[in-house]
Structure 1
Amino acid sequence: MSQPNCFSWNTVIRAFSEGSSSNAINALLIFCQLMSDGVVEPNSFTFPSVLKACSVFAGLEEGKQVHGLVVKFGFADDEFVVSNLLRLYVLCGSIEDASVLFHKNVGDLSSEIRVRDKRRQEGNVVLCNVMIDGYVRIRKIDAARELFNEMQQKSVVSWNAMISGYAQNGFFKEAIDLFHMMMEMGDVSPNRVTLASVLPAISRLGALELGEWVHLYAERNGVRIDAVLGSALIDMYAKCGNIEKAIQVFKRLLKTNVIVWNAMIGGLAMHGKAKDVLDYFSRMERSGVSPSDVTYIAILSACSHAGLVKKGISIFNDMVNRVGLEPRIEHYGCMVDLLGRAGYLEEAEELITNMPIKPDDVIWKALLGSCKLHKNVEIGRRAAEVLMKLAPHDSGAYVALSNLYASSGNWDGVAEVRMMMKELDIRKDPGCSWIEIDGVIHEFLVEDDSHPRAKEIHSMLKEISDKLSLVGHIQDTTQVLLKIDDEHKESLLHYHSEKIAVAFGLISTLPKTPLQIVKNLRICEDCHSSMKLISKVYERKIIIRDRKRFHHFENGSCSCMDYW
Structure 2
Amino acid sequence: MNPTQTLYSPGGSSPASQAAHPSSLFPEINKCRTMRDLSQIHAVFVKSGQMRDTLAAAEILRFCATSDLLHRDLDYAHKVFNQMPQRNCFSWNTIIRGFSESDEHRAVIAIALFCEMMSDEFVEPNRFTFPSVLKACAKTGKIEEGKQIHGLALKLGLSGDEFVMSNLVRMYVMCGLMKDACVLFYKNIIERDMVMMDRRKRDGEVVLWNVMIDGYMRLGDCKAARMLFDQMRQRSVVSWNTMISGYSQNGFFKDAVEVFCEMKNGDFRPNYVTLVSVLPAISRLGSLELGEWLHFYVENSRIEIDDVLGSALIDMYSKCGVIEKAIQVFERLPRENVITWSAMINGFAIHGQASEAIDCFCEMRRAGVRPSDVAYISLLTACSHAGLVEEGRKYFSQMVNVDGLDPRIEHYGCMVDLLGRSGLLEEAEEFILNMPVKPDDVVWKALLGACRMHGNVEMGKRVANILMDMVPNDSGAYVALSNMYASQGNWSEVSEMRLRMKEMDIRKDPGCSWIDVDGVLHEFLVEDDSHPRAEEINSMLVEISEKMRVAGYRPITTQVLLNLEEEDKENALHYHSEKIAVAFGLISTSPGKPIRIVKNLRICEDCHSSIKLISKVYKRKITVRDRKRFHHFQDGSCSCMDYW
The residue correspondences of 1:305-316 to structure 2 (distance < 5 A) are 305-316=385-396
Letter in 1 for 2:258: D
1:447 aligns with 2:527: yes
Instruction: Using the TM superposition, give the Cα deviation of residue 437 of structure 1 relative to its aligned residue in structure 2, in angstroms.
Output: 1.1
Residue in structure 2 matching 1:341, options 415, 418, 421? 421
Aligned residue number for residue 36 of structure 1: 119
Displacement, 1:107?
2.0
Kindly provide the amino acid, as one letter, of the partner of residue 124 in structure 2.
E
Quick one: distance in 2 between partners of 1:281 and 1:538?
38
2: CA distance between counterparts of 1:325 and 1:444? 43
Q: Are 2:168 and 1:85 equivalent residues in the alignment?
A: yes
Q: 1:472 aligns with which of 527, 552, 565?
A: 552
Residue matched to 2:446 = 366
Question: In the TM superposition, what is the alpha-carbon distance from 1:51 to its structure 2 partner?
Answer: 1.4
| Pairing partner for 1:56 from 135, 139, 144 | 139
Q: CA deviation at 1:356?
A: 1.4
Q: State the Cα distance separating 1:108 from its structure 2 match.
A: 4.2
The alignment-based identity, stated in percent, is 66
The reply to whether residue 70 of structure 1 matches residue 153 of structure 2 is yes
Q: Which residue of 2 aligns with 1:427?
A: 507
Offset at residue 345 of structure 1 (A): 0.9
Amino acid at match of 1:21: E
Partner of 1:124: 205
> Once the two structures are superposed, what CA deviation does each residue of 1:26-59 show, in whole Å capped at 9, x if it has no partner?
2212222222243322222222221122122211
Q: Where does 1:291-330 land on structure 2 (aligned, <5 Å)?
A: 291-330=371-410
In structure 2, the CA distance between the partners of 1:115 and 1:290, relative to structure 1 (3 Å rule), is: farther
In the alignment, which residue of structure 1 is the partner of 2:632? 552
Displacement after TM superposition at 1:489 (Å): 0.9
Q: Tell me, yes or no, if the aligned pair for 1:551 and 1:560 is still in contact at 8 Å.
A: yes
SS of 1:449's equivalent? coil
Which has the higher mean CA deviation after the structures are superposed, 226-235 or 255-264?
A: 255-264
Question: RMSD between aligned alpha carbons?
Answer: 1.6
Q: Does 2:27 match 1:27?
A: no
- Cα displacement string for residues 287-334 of structure 1 (whole angstroms, at most 9, x for unaligned residues): 232221111111111111100111111111111111111111111111
Q: Does residue 215 of structure 2 align to residue 138 of structure 1? A: no
Q: Quick one: distance in 2 between partners of 1:230 and 1:546? A: 24
Superposed, 1:223-234 pairs within 5 Å as 223-234=303-314
- AA aligned to 1:61 is E
Q: Comparing 68-77 with 337-346, which one deviates more in the overlay?
A: 68-77
Is the 8 Å Cα contact of residues 115 and 121 (structure 1) preserved in structure 2?
A: no
Q: Distance in 1 between matches of 2:400 and 2:204?
A: 50
The DSSP-based 3-state class of the residue aligned with 2:207 is helix
Q: Does 1:263 align with 2:346?
A: no
Which residue type is aligned with residue 497 of structure 1? S
Distance in 2 between the 1:487 and 1:234 partners?
Answer: 45
- The residue type paired with residue 466 of structure 2 is V
SS at match of 2:402: helix
Q: Does 1:246 align with 2:326?
A: yes
Alpha-carbon distance between aligned partners in 2 of 1:54 and 1:515, rounded to the nearest angstrom:
52
1:522, 1:548 within 8 Å by CA — same for their partners in 2? yes
CA distance in 2, matches of 1:193, 1:2: 42
Alpha-carbon offset, residue 162 of structure 1: 0.6
Q: 2: CA distance between counterparts of 1:337 and 1:357?
A: 17
2:609 pairs, out of 513, 529, 532, with 529
- Counterpart of 2:134, as a letter, is L
Q: Unaligned regions of 5+ residues in structure 1, if any?
A: none
Q: CA deviation at 1:385?
A: 0.8
State the 1:255 CA deviation.
6.3
Alpha-carbon separation, structure 1, partners of 2:116 and 2:197: 41
The answer to whether 1:282 aligns with 2:358 is no
Greater C-alpha radius of gyration: 2
2:188 match: 105
Secondary structure, counterpart of 2:210 in structure 1: helix
CA contact (8 A) 1:384 1:397 kept: yes
Distance in 2 between the 1:479 and 1:90 partners?
Answer: 48
Relative to 1, partners in 2 of residues 1:268 and 1:108: Cα closer, same or farther, differing over 3 Å?
A: farther
- CA displacement, residues 117-167 of structure 1 (integer Å, 9 cap, x when unaligned): 222111101111111111110111111111111111111000110111111
Amino acid at match of 1:505: G
**Against the structure 1 CA distance between its residues 78 and 256, is the aligned structure 2 distance closer, same or farther, given a 3 Å change threshold?**
farther
2:232 corresponds to 1:151: yes
Distance, in Å, in 2 between the alignment partners of 1:38 and 1:85 is: 25
Residue pair 2:335, 2:341 contacting (<8 A) in 1 also: no
Q: TM-score, normalised by structure 2?
A: 0.85
Higher relative CO (CA 8 A, sep ≥ 6), structure 1 or 2?
Answer: 1
How far, CA to CA, are the matches of 2:88 and 2:272 in structure 1?
A: 39
Q: Secondary structure at the match of 1:551?
A: strand
Question: Number of matched residues?
Answer: 561
Conservation of the 8 A alpha-carbon contact between 1:227 and 1:255: no
Range with bigger deviation, 221-230 or 277-286: 221-230
Aligned counterpart in structure 1 of residue 473 of structure 2, from 357, 380, 393: 393
CA contact (8 A) 2:596 2:624 kept: yes
